[in-house]
Amino acid sequence: MASSSLLVVVAAISQLLTLTLLVSRCSTKVPAIIVFGDSSVDAGNNNAISTALKSNFEPYGRDFFDRRPTGRFSNGRIPPDFISEAFGLRPFVPAYLDPAFNISDFASGVCFASAGTGYDNVTSNVLLLQNVIPMWKELEYYRDYQQKLRASLGDKKANSIISEALYIVSLGTNDFLENYYSSFPIPGSNSGCRRAQFPQPGQFEDFLVSLAEGFIRDLYELGAQKVSFTGMPPMGCLPLERTTNFMGQHDCVEEFNAVARDFNGKLGAMVDRMNQELPGLRMVFSNPYDKFYEIVSRPSDYGFDVASVACCGTGMYEMGYLCNKQNPFTCTDASKYVFWDSFHPTERTNGILADSLIKSVLLPNFA
Ligand SMILES: *[C@@H]1O[C@H](CO)[C@@H](O)[C@H](O)[C@H]1NC(C)=O
Ligand SMILES: *[C@@H]1O[C@H](CO)[C@@H](O)[C@H](O)[C@H]1NC(C)=O
């Protein structure tokens, strides 16, 4: 009895020591997490703009803190939230346009991402998604943020946050699935669509890489140095794409996965090139593809029951307004599902993906 309780105490103390070590190791170097991109990382900016692409209603967010639907496209947290926590910061990153937060809150983390956006200006205007925030506008908000940060904390403190923060950039799926492959017409032009302009997907990839590179240059000009540039997921395995893959018996659409892999190769090369060229830049390529594909291919290895359809609704088509609380088919335990809606992972999947990037790339490079 006495010796076993001693053991418990020893275990508790050693656990406490480990925790203290972890916290002191992780809490110093990155003062803030600053996020750009699409719904893979949007914490709720679309709530504040006029678009049909929102998720600030139940059952979205039902496993978030206070069961709050925040505008995150998941049942709970998304990858930047886990990353922020791993660096000893808040366990979530608030959206810049969320009126519940102010510049004091944003000093340790802020999200400018907008669901539905893409590298290509055309993507943010796609009919269904209409008028989400294009990437140039995310940068405008970021400039506005810098001004407020300087006004609030003074130049010295603000500049140190700006240069030491970890910047997360995550987007690309919409450029392919909503714009290129749906042959969406380019607004105000007679020349048709991107697919007519770039008949080979590889040509469109090159176009997007040039836009990604331009974005990184702008961000660097504004003072960013530590960047986690996120690769593409296996987008052919999203439930919506599987549902409509009638010829392929609802397997993953290999054509889309091949494009994602090819594009990832080019993005990785862009990251290397920028690191060579821009002094002081420390950009890493955070590629979720392999881990994500492994989870979808062998869900039971990760404790999931279902990977081919999503938790919300029938799991085949629903996202945004179609995934709502009137829908009677929504699953009860989202942690058994890889996907929450037909386009977005569950909190549990987000956690596994984030954790793998945190351990393999982010903490080793930036903590
Ligand atoms: C931000 O909000 C908190 C309370 O929510 C308040 O204490 C603080 O003064 C505010 N900061 C600014 C700069 O408005
Ligand atoms: C996207 O739109 C912005 C604002 O109109 C413009 O400054 C930028 O050059 C456009 N980008 C491309 C690649 O057309």
Question: Does residue 109 contact residue 116 with C-beta atoms inside 8 Å?
Answer: no
For ligand 2, is residue 159 a contact (CB within 6 Å)? no
When divided into structural domains, the chain yields a total of 1
- Whether 339 has a pLDDT exceeding 60, the answer reads yes
Q: How confident is the model at residue 244 (pLDDT cuts 50, 70, 90)?
A: very high
Is residue 333 annotated as a catalytic residue, yes or no? no
Mean pLDDT of 197-206: 97
Mean pLDDT of 9-29: 48
Mean pLDDT of the chain: 92
Q: How confident is the model at residue 130 (pLDDT cuts 50, 70, 90)?
A: confident
For ligand 1, is residue 152 a contact (CB within 6 Å)? yes
Residue 1 domain flag: no
DSSP codes of every residue in 57-83: STTTTTTSGGG---S-SSSS--HHHHH
Residue 22 domain flag: no
Is residue 250 annotated as a catalytic residue, yes or no? no
**CATH code of the domain covering residue 64:** 3.40.50
Q: What domain range includes position 46?
A: 30-304+347-366
> Residue 121 CA: which ligand 2 atom is closest?
1
Residue 312 domain flag: no
- Whether 18 has a pLDDT exceeding 50, the answer reads no
Mean pLDDT of 235-244: 96
Residue 103 domain flag: yes
Q: Catalogue the E-assigned strands of the chain.
A: 33-37, 109-111, 166-170, 226-230, 282-286, 339-341, 344-345
Residue 58 domain flag: yes
Residue 332 domain flag: no
Collapsing DSSP to helix, strand or coil, 282 comes out as strand
Q: How confident is the model at residue 13 (pLDDT cuts 50, 70, 90)?
A: very low
* Higher per-residue confidence, 44 vs 182: 44
Q: How confident is the model at residue 275 (pLDDT cuts 50, 70, 90)?
A: very high
Residue nearest to atom 10 of ligand 2 (CA): 121
- pLDDT at residue 192, rounded to an integer: 85
User: How many A from CA of 92 to the centre of ligand 1?
Assistant: 18
Mean pLDDT of 206-219: 98
Mean pLDDT of 217-239: 98
**Angle between the 289-297 and 254-277 helix axes, to the nearest 10 degrees?**
160
- pLDDT at residue 81, rounded to an integer: 98
> Residue 214 CA: which ligand 2 atom is closest?
13
Catalytic residue, chosen from 39, 40, 108, 124, is 39
Q: Sign (positive/negative) of CA torsion 90, 94, 100, 102?
A: positive
Mean pLDDT of 70-86: 98
Q: How confident is the model at residue 101 (pLDDT cuts 50, 70, 90)?
A: very high
Pocket test for ligand 2, best of 125, 131, 132, 136 (most atoms within 8 A of CB): 136
Is residue 39 annotated as a catalytic residue, yes or no? yes
Residue 21 domain flag: no
Q: How confident is the model at residue 189 (pLDDT cuts 50, 70, 90)?
A: confident
Residue 8 domain flag: no
> How many other C-beta atoms are found inside a 10 Å radius of the C-beta of residue 207?
17
Question: Does residue 330 contact residue 269 with C-beta atoms inside 8 Å?
Answer: no
Percent of the chain with pLDDT over 70: 91
For the ranges 19-33, 89-103, 198-212, which has the lowest average pLDDT? 19-33
- pLDDT at residue 187, rounded to an integer: 79
